[in-house]
Structure 1
Amino acid sequence: MKYEDEKILDRLREMEKLKRSNNILAGPIIINGQSYVFEERSFFEDRLKMHVPSIFTPMPKHLQKIKYPHEQRPEMILTNDLGSVDVTLNRVDQTLQDEWVEQLTSGMKAMMKNMNPAHVFYEEKIEEVHGKQIGYFDFKSPALDQPIYHNMFYFELEGKTVMGTFCCPYKQYAEWRDVALQMIRTIQTVDEAEKEGYE
């Protein structure tokens, strides 16, 4: 009887999950038992807008050095209170045009595959977001304590390359993956924002 009760409880939880809104623009959503509100933030001297969780804050420098040990770490690293879920943005002094985004994305994925044969790759895609081409791919990487889920995305800003990442513990991948894609789909550069009267 106890087993049956547990099955019913599991089914009710599944139904509750389905009923919940997972639209980041439509109000709070529950991820891993925590409520998140998403807000539009501006980056790079207000040249870029993107919706991110309101509780995400810039990662402290001492944590950056541990989690991103390379000297060339991203310009922007926003993280949750545990430092376990991050969104990063980095401008690269490399010329980029919209029509080159697909080639850049597949080239970066191929390079990462060669360098890291242990990575497990999932989807690679180019989407048009507010008139701009954004390329992304996602993968699982091994880590010291537990595997990590990553989504790496690329787009052009003022003729240069912007590289972004979303990462979280792999065990939370199912809850965060669609949310990460929704965040990417809110990216808007200031020239597009002005053109569409977005501000």
Structure 2
Amino acid sequence: MDERVDEKILDFINEAEEKELRKDITNGLVKINNKFYEFEETEFFDGALKIYIPNTFEDMSEESRKFKYPSENRPEIIKCNEDGSIAITLKIIDSPLDDDHIEEIKGIMKLITQRLNPANIYFDEGIIEVDKKNIGYFDYKSSAIDDFLYNVMFFLEFQGKTLMGTFSCGYSEYKQWKDDIVFQILKTIKINKEVCSENN
């Protein structure tokens, strides 16, 4: 049998296996860029919000926070991998929001990021419905000190205010995160309405 054909078959099998492994973040190990991650439903804001993130992600150190997010207005929650190169952030903005104005806030935030960094390259944007809530998002490529980054920003109404979240990773890693994982993460967002009403 031709060696090249053999290789092609092996490539096909490997690709199929990887796709299998990358399928569902709520069910077992997931392979992303040759690393295995196990995602776990994690509670934030005293249990009012739940979202699946890798169980190895930890709170970013104070020093790294100040370096990576120099503004004093940095997110309250920053969960990241070991070296801080992949991060998920959540921040409540004290600005009223309801489901009907998600499109509007998405447009405003995109405009702000464009003005702050005109060199950003934008890809997709839209609104998805998750757990009967609208979540607006857009994604883009930005430059960091020594690398390019892939970023997803997302917005939803939370306790009557604006919840802004981000996902970021090195641009060289973006394809598998974007193709398979980031939107799965967004689709696991759940708001615990009972806790929300207790907190209000």
In the superposition, the TM-score normalised over structure 1's length comes to 0.89
Report what 2:97 is aligned to.
96
Unaligned 5+ segments in structure 1 are 195-199
- The alpha-carbon distance between structure 1 residues 22 and 193, as it changes in their structure 2 partners (threshold 3 A), is farther
Residue 12 of structure 1 and its aligned partner are, at CA, apart by: 4.5
Q: Is contact 2:87-2:168 (8 Å) kept?
A: yes
What percent of counterpart residues are identical?
A: 41
Residue 103 of structure 1 and its aligned partner are, at CA, apart by: 0.7
Return the match for 1:181 from 171, 174, 183. Answer: 183
- The alpha-carbon distance between structure 1 residues 122 and 90, as it changes in their structure 2 partners (threshold 3 A), is same
SS at match of 1:15: helix
Q: Is contact 2:21-2:29 (8 Å) kept?
A: no
Distance in 2 separating the partners of 1:142 and 1:2: 42
Which has the larger displacement, 163-172 or 183-192? Answer: 183-192
The alignment status of 1:44 with 2:45, answered yes or no, reads yes
Which has the larger displacement, 6-15 or 100-109? Answer: 6-15
Q: Is contact 1:86-1:166 (8 Å) kept?
A: yes
Distance in 2 separating the partners of 1:28 and 1:92: 34
Residue 11 of structure 1 and its aligned partner are, at CA, apart by: 4.5
Which has the larger displacement, 8-17 or 88-97? Answer: 8-17
Q: Is contact 1:131-1:192 (8 Å) kept?
A: no
Q: Deviations over 1:159-182 (max 9, x none)?
A: 101100000001110111131111
SS at match of 1:145: coil
Distance in 2 separating the partners of 1:192 and 1:146: 43
Report what 2:59 is aligned to.
58
Report what 2:14 is aligned to.
13
Report what 1:79 is aligned to.
80
Residue 8 of structure 1 and its aligned partner are, at CA, apart by: 6.2
Runs of 4+ in structure 1 off by over 4 angstroms are: 1-12
Residue 193 of structure 1 and its aligned partner are, at CA, apart by: 8.8
Residue 3 of structure 1 and its aligned partner are, at CA, apart by: 7.8
Report what 1:121 is aligned to.
122
Residue 189 of structure 1 and its aligned partner are, at CA, apart by: 0.9
Report what 1:197 is aligned to.
none
Q: What is the identity, as a one-letter code, of the residue corresponding to 1:50?
A: I
SS at match of 1:165: strand
Q: Is contact 1:130-1:192 (8 Å) kept?
A: no
Residue 192 of structure 1 and its aligned partner are, at CA, apart by: 7.5
Residue 110 of structure 1 and its aligned partner are, at CA, apart by: 2.1
CA RMSD of aligned residues (A): 2.1
Report what 1:130 is aligned to.
131
SS at match of 1:37: strand
SS at match of 1:176: helix
Residue 82 of structure 1 and its aligned partner are, at CA, apart by: 1.6
SS at match of 2:18: helix
* Matched ranges for 1:19-38 at <5 A: 19-38=20-39
* Matched ranges for 1:147-158 at <5 A: 147-158=148-159
The alignment status of 1:191 with 2:193, answered yes or no, reads yes
In the superposition, the TM-score normalised over structure 2's length comes to 0.89
Aligned residues: 194
Q: Is contact 2:79-2:88 (8 Å) kept?
A: yes
Residue 108 of structure 1 and its aligned partner are, at CA, apart by: 1.1
Q: Is contact 1:154-1:162 (8 Å) kept?
A: yes
